[in-house]
Structures are given as C-alpha cells and as structure tokens.
C-alpha cells in the first residue's frame, strides 16, 4: 500500500520530485529521469535503428547520434561493426556500444550459402558479440537451408530473411513464407516494410502471415511503390503495423530505417521517430 500524500514519506518524495522537475526546466535539453521513466514512448517495443541509416557517419558518431535520438537498440550493418571473432576486436566494439548505452540485438544483412565455413564465421561473431538475430539474404536452395537449420539450433541465434524489393530473391511475402515452411522455428523473417511496398505487397499482411517466425522489422516508408520517404509520409500503415505487432507481443528488434540524405539524416530520422511515437498512441 502506498503512503498517502499527507504522510511524511510522501511529502518528502513530493518535494524531491518537484525539485528535480524544477531543475530540469532550468537546464535546456535536460529531461528528468523520474518523468522520462513514467512512460515508455514506444509502448514496450525494443525501438532502435538499422545503423545503415547513419552510414554517412563513422561508428563513434553513429552511436553518439543514436543515443541523442533516445534510442538504445541497434541492428548494425557490417561497415559500422565488422564481422570478427578476434577477442580484442569484439571487446572494442562492446565497449563502444556500452559507452553509448546501445545494445546490439541484430546484425546484417548477411549473405548465406551452403558454405559452412563462412556461415560459422557469421554465427561465431554473433555469439561473441551477443547478437540475437542475423538478418539474412540466403541462397534459395535446400543445402543452404539445411545448414541454417543446423546452425540456428546449435548457436540459439535466429535467422531473419530480409526482403529486398522488386527483382530480389525474396520479393514477395510468399517467397519468405514458402522457403521457411517446415524449417527450424528459428529460421524466420525480417520484414522490411518499405521494400514490401516497393514490391506492391502489404507490410501489415507480411507481419500477419509471418508472425510466428518474425525476428526483425525494418520500419521504412515508400510512396507510390518507388519513392523512399520519411516514415509516416508515404503509404505505410504505421498504426496498422504497430497494432499487429503489439497484438502478437512482438519482442524482437523494431528498427527505423531511413535510406535518404545519408550525409545529414538526423533531422529526418527525428521526424520518423516522432511519427512512430504518434502512431504508438493510437494502438491502445
């Protein structure tokens, strides 16, 4: 039972809270952690960014920018964090991630074939650095997927097949649905909403049909199936995507991805995130 407002403990807490809030208003750009913690603006989603969005920056600046954006999860692409199992190299990037208060939960997009040596190098790296999911563009053959079945089981790391739009291996929703059928449950999908729009596919339908194997989502927006745009300003049903993810208790990486203006993307990404927060308020 909580103390009443009139109790000494409550009065002390009230005065402390008021003092912190007052101090925060006096310092531009500072938000009281007491109030920041009261409400998660992303409704429990592990909201992050695909670091490709920040490809114009080196890894240090990209991580600093991520922290300033108020995000704490990354799906990194290899130009920011190279694949390596050298302990000193892994430790270096872990230290950088920790310093920026960013957790690396996904990585990619990586190619996979029947080449077990290459595949193990990717999985060994993921295990060493603590990645949960590898976004992937595997060859569409039995040998490759037999190998993936074995490795996801051995390493307890997910494979998320990433769709890349018209002409790619995984252009349509059916391409992903069909290839993962009967495979290890850890072999699943990373739904890139923008690329599905480019392929004239419905991202909400993709999330629905792949829900039991969904290990990654790239929130990206496109207008008229061809023009990359700021999230919330294209044809993506952002509310519909988030509502379904919430209904399905989605727990994996939810990464905004913005491919335009790579030299100075931050203000555009801020608008993307603002539109996500507005959509979150509508999902109930």
If 0-12 CB within 10 Å is exposed, 13-18 middle and 19+ buried, where does residue 127 land?
Answer: middle
- Helix (H) or strand (E) run with residue 21 in it: helix 8-26
Average pLDDT, the chain: 89
Domains and CATH numbers, the chain: 1-38 (no CATH), 43-280 (3.20.20.150)
CB 158 within 8 A of CB 146: no
| Residue 275 clears pLDDT 50, i.e. is over it | yes
pLDDT of residue 9: 39
pTM of the model: 0.86
Share of the chain above pLDDT 70, in %: 87
1 vs 75: which has the higher pLDDT: 75
Mean pLDDT of 271-283: 97
pLDDT in tens, 47-101: 999 999 999 999 999 999 999 999 999 999 999 999 999 999 999 999 999 999 9
| Residue 20 clears pLDDT 60, i.e. is over it | no
pLDDT of residue 234: 98
Going by pLDDT thresholds of 50, 70 and 90, the confidence category of residue 45 is: very high
Q: Report CA Rg, the chain.
A: 21
Going by pLDDT thresholds of 50, 70 and 90, the confidence category of residue 2 is: very low
pLDDT in tens, 163-213: 999 999 999 999 999 999 999 999 999 999 999 999 999 999 999 999 999
Mean pLDDT of 253-260: 97
110 contacts: CB under 8 Å, gap ≥ 6: 78, 83, 122, 134, 135, 136, 137
- Helix (H) or strand (E) run with residue 9 in it: helix 8-26
User: Which tokens hold the place of 278?
Assistant: 């507005």
**Where would I find the beta strands (DSSP E) of 65-224?**
73-76, 103-112, 133-138, 158-162, 187-192, 214-219, 221-223
What is the spatial distance between Cα 228 and Cα 246, in angstroms, rounded to a whole number? 25
Mean pLDDT of 134-156: 98
CB 196 within 8 A of CB 202: yes
User: Which tokens hold the place of 221?
Assistant: 């927006």
Going by pLDDT thresholds of 50, 70 and 90, the confidence category of residue 39 is: confident
């Amino acid at each position: 039972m909580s103390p009443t407002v009139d109790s000494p403990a409550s009065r002390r807490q009230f005065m402390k809270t008021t003092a912190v809030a007052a101090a925060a208003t006096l310092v531009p750009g500072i938000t009281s952690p007491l109030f920041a913690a009261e409400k998660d603006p992303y409704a429990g989603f592990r909201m992050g960014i695909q670091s490709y969005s920040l490809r114009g920056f080196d890894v240090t600046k990209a991580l600093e920018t991520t922290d300033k954006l108020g995000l704490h999860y990354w799906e990194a692409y290899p130009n920011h964090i190279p694949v390596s199992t050298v302990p000193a190299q892994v430790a270096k990037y872990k230290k950088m991630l920790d310093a920026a208060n960013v957790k690396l939960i996904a990585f990619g997009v990586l190619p996979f074939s029947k080449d077990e040596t290459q595949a193990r190098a990717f999985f060994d790296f993921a295990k060493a650095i603590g990645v949960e999911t590898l976004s992937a563009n595997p060859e569409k053959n039995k040998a490759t997927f037999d190998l993936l079945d074995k490795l996801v089981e051995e390493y307890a790391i997910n494979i998320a097949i990433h769709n890349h739009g018209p002409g790619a291996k995984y252009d349509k929703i059916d391409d992903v649905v069909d290839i993962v059928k009967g495979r290890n449950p850890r072999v699943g999908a990373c739904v890139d909403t923008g690329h599905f729009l480019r392929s004239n596919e419905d991202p909400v339908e993709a999330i629905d049909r792949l829900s039991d194997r969904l290990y990654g989502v790239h929130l990206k927006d496109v207008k008229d199936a061809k023009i990359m745009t700021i999230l919330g300003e294209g044809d993506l049903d952002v509310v519909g995507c988030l509502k379904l993810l919430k209904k399905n208790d989605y727990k994996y990486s939810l990464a905004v991805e913005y491919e335009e203006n790579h030299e100075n993307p931050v203000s555009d990404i801020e608008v993307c995130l603002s539109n996500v927060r507005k959509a979150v308020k509508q999902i109930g």
